[in-house]
Amino acid sequence: MTIKIPCLLCSQELVQRKDKNQKPYFICNPCGVQIFVRGHQGIENLAQLVEQLQQREFPFREHARILYQIQAVLSEIRGLEKEVKSLEQGVLDVFFGDEYKERARRALKARIEALLAELEQLANGVVKG
CA dist., res. 123 & res. 129, Å (int): 15
Note whether 64 and 26 are same-domain residues: no
pLDDT the model gives residue 59: 62
Give residue 48's domain range. Answer: 4-55
Counting the structural domains of the chain, the total is 2
Interval 64-85: pLDDT, tens: 777 778 888 998 999 999 988 8
Q: How many CB atoms lie within 10 A of CB 103?
A: 11
Question: Under a CB-based contact definition with an 8 Å cutoff, are residues 21 and 30 in contact?
Answer: no
Note whether 11 and 50 are same-domain residues: yes
pLDDT the model gives residue 76: 92
pTM above 0.75, yes or no: no
Note whether 28 and 68 are same-domain residues: no
CA dist., res. 101 & res. 99, Å (int): 5
In whole numbers, what is the pLDDT of the chain averaged over residues? 84
